[in-house]
Structure formats: structure tokens, C-alpha cells
Amino acid sequence: MTVRSALLSPSPLIALAMGTVLLGEAAVASDVVQERIETQHHALRLVRLADGLAHPWAVAALPDERFLVTERDNGMALVENGEIRRLDGLPEFSNHGQGGMLDVVLHPQFGDGANDWIYFTFSKPGEGDDTASALARARLEGNSLTDLEELFVQDRFSQPGRHYGSRLAWHADGSLMMSIGDRGAEPPRAQDKQDHAGSVLRLTETGEAHSDNPFIDDPAGLDEIYSIGNRNIQGMTVTQDDSVWASEHGPRTGDELNRIEAGVNYGWPVVTLGNDYATNEPFGEKSRPGMRDPVLVFEGRYAPSGLAVVSSDLFPEWSGDLLAGGLGSEKLARIAIDGDTAQVEELLLEGEIGRIRDVRQGPDGTIYLLNDEAKGGLYRLERAE
């Protein structure tokens, strides 16, 4: 595994070059953090499954009760019974600022042998310090990734550090949605259909543009683009009716929840309900014809990251609801959706584990969370007795 770091100190590179590392001293047995959390419908228990993860970004639950966790700075780890092993075999990535190893999902038919692919996104280094959001897949063998394939790289490399987006979500038809942020320095890129920045892509499982994409036969737009005008989506999921929902970082107090549809322009940076960070004055217009208003604007500075839909029999009263994590807000919100409307029903967590980076429903029906800390943890929300 090779990492290009923005830091010149050799120590993190030396540690990463060691390949697979057992972090036994950082591992913990399952630890009940909070025995009982009362909610409107279900009493919950909060359990920590592992500790000592370096800024974990995404979690994918394997069928055998192990977990793959991406660590933004370090790569990818395999978590088993609280023990953390870092994997080798990863592509080169840049861990400057918000960049690094980012999302991870399993192929929808993972477990049948032929489709045991692990898909992941990362900030790919280019010339100088420039980077781009990229997608790859590989197989897991022991403590290594093998058969590595780079599937997609956004069309333009640019200065590193901000707004990679990079959430992944599968459609029922087998297509893969991928978000790419506006990359921070040039927000108008999100309005350019000839630029992948600030968009949601729809790809095949091998990384090509899906044949039904809205600009597939339109020379004005790139084939891979599904929607435009998205600032920085860091939460994305597909509901039971195959609708794509995304939680998105807006400017100050303008964080959004959107239903993502083909060919729609979600407005950034022309339209936003947030404020300028420096002046706290309104940023852009409130609405404009031809640009889609958000379904919901989060209260305050939510800083959304991680989004899951509940379909588990363990939480019947939440069926079809969304669970949205928050970084700066340190919140986990339950959101009821009805067609094109959404409403925050309650806060399930508020500060108990700190900055919430990822939210996933596991194959066992419980809810898994990551917190974004230098020594972060993997947590499970389960039904209390």
C-alpha cells in the first residue's frame, strides 16, 4: 500500500508501509456505552465494538460478522471481535485535509463467490498536489486486497483537501450511485455538466456510464452524470422504492436533504438556504426556476455525514425512515419521508459518541455507526431488552 501524504514527517508513511498491522492494544471487547436510550417507539442500547480507528470514514458489514472500515488517513481495516487489522493491497491515495480513503460498500451479490467485490472511493493523487475522487474495487483474501481494479476517476484533477463527496449507494437494478463534491475552491464547477465535480454519478458495476443516464446522448453533459448542483454529499442511500436520498453539506446553516433524480439541478452555488461562513450573510438566491429546492434543511449547523434507510424488523415503527448522522452537531436524527416531503421526528443521539461520520443498517438489522476521531470507534445501536 502506498500513501501520498501532505505531511512531510516520515512517521505516518513508515507506519503505513508496514502493510497489515494488528492493533491489539487498540481493540476492545463489546462495551455497553449506554444501557438504555429511550426514543418515541423503541428503547435502544449503544454498544462500542472497536476503538482506536484513525478517523474512520465508512463501514461495510461482511456476512461473517466482520467489518471493513475505511480510515481516512491509513487506508482500510478489517475489524473482527474488536481486533483491528489494516489491509495491504490498496491503491495510492492522498490523505491531505478531507481526502484519503473514503467510502466502502459490498457488491449486492457479495457472498456468492463470483461477485465478492469490495467497492471503495478515495482521493487519487495526480501531478503535484492535485487530486481527484476515484472508485476502485478489489477482493478480500486474508488480510490483503487482491484483484484490484480502478473503475472510475473524475475528469479533472484539482488542488487537494476539500469536498470529495464520495458516498456510494446501489440501485435495485445493480447500478451504482457515486457522489462527487464541488472540490471547494471553485463552487461554480457544480453547475458545469462537462465537469464531474458537484454531481451525482450513475455507473455500472464495472465503472462505465449507465445507459439510461440523462446526458448519455447529450454532448452538453458528461455521460456519467445523473444530477448536478450538489455541493458536497456525504450521506446517500436508496430506499425500498428505489429512490435515492442524499444528505449534503451546504454553506453555514444550509445543510440539506435531497431526493436525487435524473437530470435535476440542485442549485449549488446559485441557490442555497445557507449563509456565507465569513460574513454570516445569505449566500446566493433562495430559489430559482429550473433548480430543485431541498426537501429538508437541517436545523442549525448539522454537518451531515452518513445516511441509512431503516428496513429492519427490529425497528418496525421506523420502517422506511432515514437515519442521518451529523459531524459538528454530533447528532443522529430519525427522518420520516413521505413522497417528496421529509420531517425530522426525533434525535436518537446527541453527543454520546461525538462526530458521527457513517450510519449503516447491518445484515443483522441493527444500526452501525462510526465516529470521526483520531482514535475513533465502531458502534452498534440495538434494541434494549
Domain ranges across the chain? 3-383
Backbone φ and ψ for 8, nearest 5 degrees, come out as: -90, -15
CA 103 – CA 96 distance, rounded (Å)? 16
Q: What is the pLDDT of residues 322-351, one digit of tens each?
A: 999 999 999 999 999 998 899 999 999 999
For residue 204, pLDDT beyond 90: yes
DSSP label at 304?
E
Can you tell me the mean pLDDT for 160-182?
A: 96
Catalytic residue chosen out of the listed positions 96, 107, 163, 249: 163
- pLDDT tens digits, residue range 54-113? 999 999 999 999 999 999 999 999 999 999 999 999 999 999 999 999 999 999 999 999
The span from the CA of 247 to the CA of 225, in Å, is: 18
Predicted local confidence at residue 173, as pLDDT: 94
| DSSP H or E segment with residue 12 | helix 11-17
User: Does 186 have pLDDT greater than 50?
Assistant: yes
Distance (Å) of CA 376 to CA 51, 272, 354, 358, 369: 6, 32, 9, 12, 10
Name the DSSP class of 293: P
DSSP secondary structure letters along 172-228 = TTS-EEEEE---SS-GGGGG-TTS-TTEEEEE-TTSPBPTT-TTTT-TTS-TTEEEE
CATH T-level topology, domain 3-383? Neuraminidase (2.120.10)
Question: What is d(CA 38, CA 1) in angstroms, rounded to the nearest whole number?
Answer: 44
Strand, coil or helix: 170: strand
CA nearest neighbour of 357 among 84, 109, 59, 7: 59
Whether 196 sits among the annotated catalytic residues: the reply is no
Dihedral sign (CA 25, 26, 27, 33): positive
Q: How many helices (H) and strands (E) does the chain have?
A: 1, 27
Contact 161, 201 (CB under 8 A): no
Question: What are the CA-CA distances from residue 370 to residues 270, 276, 316 (Å)?
Answer: 33, 29, 23
**Average pLDDT, whole number, for the chain?**
92
**3 pLDDT tier (thresholds 50, 70, 90):** low
The single residue listed with the C-alpha cell 420520516 is 336
CA 105-358-36 angle, to 5 degrees, is: 125
